[in-house]
Amino acid sequence: MSVAHPPHAKDATSFDPTRFYQHIHHVIPPFYRIAARTDIGIRRKSNQDAFLFLPLQDGFLGVICDGMGGYQGGDIASQLAVDAVRYYFEHPPAKARWQPFQALREAIQSANRAIHLEAQKNEKLRQMGSTIVALLVHEEQAYIAHVGDSRLYLLREGTLLQITRDHSAIERMKEQGKSTEKVKSNIITRVLGRLAEVEVECQPLPLHLQEGDRLLLCSDGLTGMMEDQEILEHLARQWDPTLAAERLIETANDRGGKDNISLILIDYAKPKRVFGWGAFFMLLALVGLLFWPVPPHPTTATQPPTPPKEPQVRSLQPPARTRYVVPRALLVPPSQKKKRKRLKKRRVRYKKRKKRRRRKRPSKRRLRK
């Protein structure tokens, strides 16, 4: 089932959100294969991750949130972020035009405000927060925005690329060229809910999808247990995204499973043009053969039609008798037949006697010797 293209502006990076999200339905375009999985891990008692997959008109939205802030706050923060982003895209503000990056940025800002307000109301939830990575796919263009250390990978032609950059202390030290041995891996420099406003990092340009691309959205529960090379091997080995997602979670749990593991795996196969110019000309030739006027046969066209035959009346007279003539040589009297048989028998007897006599007589050569 194909999805109708939404009306958009002349600029390829802008579209009308009021019309883009009017006909939200739960049908994935046929050229996408998607698998979403989440796992509690081995050491955690609760799952503080949350993910969202929202089909849109001629596209979809994928979000992964990794909550933090203790046993009570992490799962609440991630769920608040997911609900706020869902509500924003299902009920967009009434504006004339909007850009996809701006839509992602404002949706994540609304999620940040929802978590911050809830934390201000309850003292037990003051330290809660969440990371987020969001992917908006529209007309073969992928728009990416994130906050925190949840990542998005792209597998293209056997090469794994990390599209997002972690907002963590380790990443900051790497950019400054300093050693990261004494820096803890769980220190995040940018997170949802801690402040009233958060800086959302969007990719400068949309990612144009190609045939065979595979996108991976994941939390740090996967990247903390596996290296990028191991993730590449699992993604390249498994053709089915569902099996690939299950194998990634199993491997992360085998390595220790210290954190919750959530991921969304998306495969893109470019829709092939079924009806091309070759098929058009073949169909045109077939229609011409069916409706081409057939000329009449020359024999039927030149000769006048034959008149109907008159019914023939059979005569009632009996047919004349046919007279057969027997050859005269065959007319032999029976007495002559018997005589010929006797003569024949005599000749046969004579020949037999003659053969016997020749056998008994000695040859002339023997007599001379």
What pLDDT is stored for residue 1 in this prediction? Answer: 33
Superfamily of chain region 22-163+192-268: PPM-type phosphatase domain (3.60.40.10)
What tens-digit pLDDT sequence spans the chain (369 residues)? 333 333 333 333 333 433 333 333 334 556 788 999 999 999 888 899 999 999 887 789 999 999 987 656 889 999 999 999 999 998 887 664 568 899 999 999 999 999 999 999 988 888 899 999 999 998 889 999 999 999 999 999 889 999 999 998 888 888 877 877 777 777 889 999 989 999 999 998 999 999 889 999 999 999 999 999 999 999 999 889 999 999 999 999 999 888 999 999 999 886 555 556 677 778 888 887 787 776 665 554 455 667 766 655 555 555 555 555 555 555 556 667 777 788 888 888 888 888 887 776 665 555 555
The rounded distance, in Å, linking the Cα atoms of 185 and 220 is: 10
Residues 128, 70 contacting (CB under 8 angstroms):
yes
| pLDDT at 341 (0 to 100) | 82
Q: How far is CA 306 from CA 210, 303, 311, in A?
A: 73, 8, 15
Please give the Cα distance from 352 to 206 (Å, whole number).
Answer: 119
SS (H, E, C) 237-284: HCCCHHHHHHHHHHHHHHCCCCCCEEEEEEEECCCCCCCCHHHHHHHH
Q: What confidence score (pLDDT) does residue 213 get?
A: 93
Cα 333 from Cα 353, distance rounded (Å): 31
Contact indicator for 92, 153 with CB cutoff of 8 Å: no
* pLDDT value, residue 134: 96
Model pTM?
Answer: 0.66
DSSP element (H, E) containing 350: helix 334-360
Q: Give the model's pLDDT for residue 363.
A: 58
Domain chopping of the chain, boundaries: 22-163+192-268
Q: Read off the tokens for 284.
A: 């045109």
d(CA 158, CA 156): 6
